[in-house]
Structure 1
Amino acid sequence: MYVESDFERPAKEQDHQGPEWRNPVSRDYGRIVHSASFRRQQGKTQVFPGHESDFFRNRLTHSLEVAQIAEGIADRLNTVYKEQVGDRQINGRLCAAAGLVHDIGHPPFGHNGERALDDQMKQYGGFEGNAQTLRILSRLEKKFKYDDPVGNDERAGLNLCFRTLAAVLKYDEVILEKRDAKSDLAKGYYESEAPIVARIKEKVLRGKALPAGVKFKTTECAIMDIADDIAYSVYDLEDSLKAGFLTPASILSSDDKLLKAVAEKVVEQLGIPVTEADVLSTFVDVFKDLIPDVEKGDELVSFIEATRTSNEICSNGYVRTALSSLLVHEFINGVEFVFDDEYPALSKVSLGAETRKKVEVLKQYTFTAIIYSSRVKLGEYRGTELVKDIFEALKAKKGHLLMPDDVRERYLNAQDDATKARTICDFVAGMTDRYAVEFWARLRSDAAESMFKSI
């Protein structure tokens, strides 16, 4: 499945070939782990803010889980589909590398920060987390520069292999330079990275053109995407149970309005009929040990026992971990593979229909019940306004004086408004939640950080 061109790099590395015992994917994996953008994920919220509890996952721990699940999927497919795969085995470490970086483009405060930045960038190419991930890897990380720059930008980011970069290219669409102010978030990659995307496709497809109507998405990218969905569906639920935001009893007694909203979201994502009863039956299956057989006259005893079991799932780490492990194992076993002999790099990986529906129901229920809850929304609202406020302050007249020296220099050297706006956007997007709060406090709060603390 892999050829030499897959492991070529955008920029030449005459002095960085590495020892022969380190293959290109291992080197990419190492570069990712040692990068600043990877580390910064520890300061970015997954569902619940990190300062609330050390238990809850952040973007870094989520990415580590996605990487492990992705590598597990690859290992299983290589075993179960060995007759199809043959000597063209899927590279599990490459899938894991994609898992590690799939979220590094997320700004502070998650999807709310993403929307706030996109609102500011609608006339300058937009902002989107996946597009920012590719930009970080291919431009912003400070490891390599081009001897012969592509366009007017000498930065080469981590200079990862083309096949590694392909593994994070989830959406084969360029984001329009200018969009209507009321338009929804656009998925894709920025126009500024279009040249590197063209090179990725050329190398990975070995010079072939894509068939009409086919989008570019490699096997490793599909595996990473599935691993991300599995991690979201299982571990966001686990965090919600631990936090007490959800209990098995509250889920199984969900009102019709919530069940309908979840069903509509699943239909929107999968394009198949899903009813409120389907949503409820999914959780009946997940929590089946909670529902005892009821004999006439034993309803009260059964109710008490079910309530105790519900509480135990939330409070007992052993029980929660066992439930999560069973679900992850079930979902990995539901992954299917179809080898593409003409386009091996685009061989299809997908979840079986029933597994995919179950994953999506869990994912959409947690999202709808928790992300839209007032307690979570209050914190997110602050994050949205905070990101907007920082961006506008930096974009204002003499706003460059508020920037760190290296950002200020690139801003002042920018030749047009779009490049200046993108420079600000890159800086704000790279902030952790805490750094964004501290930066904003220097602008607005009566309890700002000391001027002796660097920005």
Structure 2
Amino acid sequence: MTAPYASDPAQVRGRRVAEEESAFRSPFQRDRDRIIHSSAFRRLKHKTQVFVAHEGDYFRTRLTHSIEVAQVARTIAGALGLNGELTEAVALAHDLGHPPFAHAGEDTLDALMAPYGGFDHNAQAVRIVTSLERHYAEFDGLNLTWETLEGLAKHNGPVTPLRSDDPVTGSLPYALADYNARHDLELHTHASAEAQVAALSDDIAYNNHDLHDGLRARLFDDDEIAGLPIVGDCYAEVDRLYPGLDRKRRRHEALRRVFGVMVGDVITRSRYLLEDAAPASVAEVRHLGRPVIRFSDALWGDLKQIRAFLFARMYRAPEVNDMRLRVHGVVSTLFPHYLNAPDHLPEQWRRDVAQAADETALARLVSDYIAGMTDRFALQEYASLTGDGARDFSDNGV
């Protein structure tokens, strides 16, 4: 049964370019399908989460992560009576704006773009689906519904300037401000409950699969994470039910239970918050002034301990830090090269260069181009410019 605060496809707030809707698919289903068929979504296959692609075929990519997030999000949305199609659309698109080389690539690109308004992957996702995907005859982008765009823009909650007195850090992310000036996404409010589910499902997915990937990379072992909250209880339950289980099955059984604990906690806590607030519509959800999809305080405290462990032992592990330095060099080489020699950009990008009004506009184009690269294409471009092959990027001891 659909809840009164769920997003209703029959009352969709429209698309920026008016279209006749499908007779067979809801507006949100159509959004989801356009996202799946986009070039940016396909490129996620060769964009990594933490490890670069050369480190093994079994580590998560942005694509596998996005699929896992969508699966979790649909489960939670169904349990809460929300619209599963909108939830899935936002979940599948939430990482479209990530540049190559995971957060190391984003940090470097943001620093390089600091004189031109910075770089933000959530804002870039909006830019991709509203402008950079260029396949349709009547519009640039995917012409998604207002509700899906809202979910992408507010992935981390309401968007407000950090400082009003600073023309750079005080402004909204450039790509987001540019689009919002033409199509108001009401950035000061919270997103729909569906978009909030997609955002929290992102946390659930990466907390779980980063434990799995870290184990596979031998950055830590099962005994070490068995000392963590939530995780330890799950290992203990598996050992009680299946004594003597082989290592891989034991690990899988334990970590899938970790998944279940997080999902169950979100559903239980969010049901309480929704019942307590009793919003009568999705508009009331947006204007409550607080999120309605949350972990319990107790589980959130446990997750902080897991995140602290992952930060120390995985995200800042010596092997990963070494890779961060290497990919920093790649992006730091590509950006100034294209900025100073825009004629080296592909032909379709050079057409936009000719219309760039100033250096900031040119830098935004270069940023768009680099952000759209996959890990391996960025390495190929780097090798072609420097003569330094990508072989060293696979020899990292992981």
Q: TM-score range by the shorter chain?
A: 0.7 to 0.9
1:381 corresponds, among 325, 329, 342, to 325
CA distance in 2, matches of 1:447, 1:58: 22
- Taking structure 2 as the reference length, what is the TM-score of the superposition? 0.83
Q: Tell me if the contact between 2:338 and 2:366 (Cα under 8 Å) persists in the aligned partners.
A: yes
Shift of 1:50: 2.8
Q: Tell me if the contact between 1:174 and 1:191 (Cα under 8 Å) persists in the aligned partners.
A: no
Opposite residue 325 of structure 1, the aligned amino acid is R
CA distance in 1, matches of 2:91, 2:205: 11
Opposite residue 121 of structure 1, the aligned amino acid is M
| Percent of aligned positions that are identical | 31
Q: Secondary structure at the match of 2:19?
A: coil
Equivalent residue for 2:381?
439
1:352 aligns with 2:357: no
Opposite residue 27 of structure 2, the aligned amino acid is P
Q: How does 1:11-50 map to 2 (within 5 A)?
A: 11-13=17-19, 17-18=21-22, 20-50=23-53
Q: In the comparison of the two structures, how many residue pairs are matched?
A: 366
CA distance in 2, matches of 1:364, 1:96: 29
- What are the Cα deviations for residues 344-382 of structure 1, in whole angstroms up to 9, with x where unaligned? 443711112222223333233223211101111111211
Moved more, 239-248 or 54-63: 239-248
Q: Secondary structure at the match of 1:387?
A: helix
Equivalent residue for 2:142?
158
Equivalent residue for 2:118?
126
- What are the Cα deviations for residues 92-147 of structure 1, in whole angstroms up to 9, with x where unaligned? 1211111111111000111111111111211222101111111111111113476x
Equivalent residue for 1:72?
75
Shift of 1:179: 6.3
CA distance in 1, matches of 2:109, 2:165: 14
Cα–Cα, structure 1 residues 37 and 179, in superposed 2: closer, same or farther, change >3 Å?
farther
Q: Secondary structure at the match of 2:369?
A: helix
1:404 aligns with 2:346: yes
Equivalent residue for 1:287?
235
CA distance in 1, matches of 2:174, 2:296: 26
2:259 corresponds, among 307, 328, 332, to 328
1:244 aligns with 2:228: no
CA distance in 1, matches of 2:110, 2:205: 26
Shift of 1:438: 0.4
Larger Rg: 1
Moved more, 428-437 or 344-353: 344-353
1:10 aligns with 2:13: no
Q: Secondary structure at the match of 2:87?
A: helix
- What are the Cα deviations for residues 410-433 of structure 1, in whole angstroms up to 9, with x where unaligned? 012111222111011000000000
Equivalent residue for 1:95?
87
Equivalent residue for 2:179?
193
Unmatched 5+ stretches in structure 1: 79-89, 147-154, 202-209, 254-279, 293-305, 449-455
2:367 corresponds, among 404, 421, 425, to 425
CA distance in 2, matches of 1:24, 1:345: 21
Shift of 1:197: 5.2
Equivalent residue for 2:103?
111
Backbone CA RMSD of aligned residues: 3.0
- What are the Cα deviations for residues 204-228 of structure 1, in whole angstroms up to 9, with x where unaligned? xxxxxx9xxx733221221011101
Opposite residue 331 of structure 1, the aligned amino acid is M
Unmatched 5+ stretches in structure 2: 1-5, 391-398
Opposite residue 105 of structure 1, the aligned amino acid is G
Opposite residue 34 of structure 2, the aligned amino acid is R
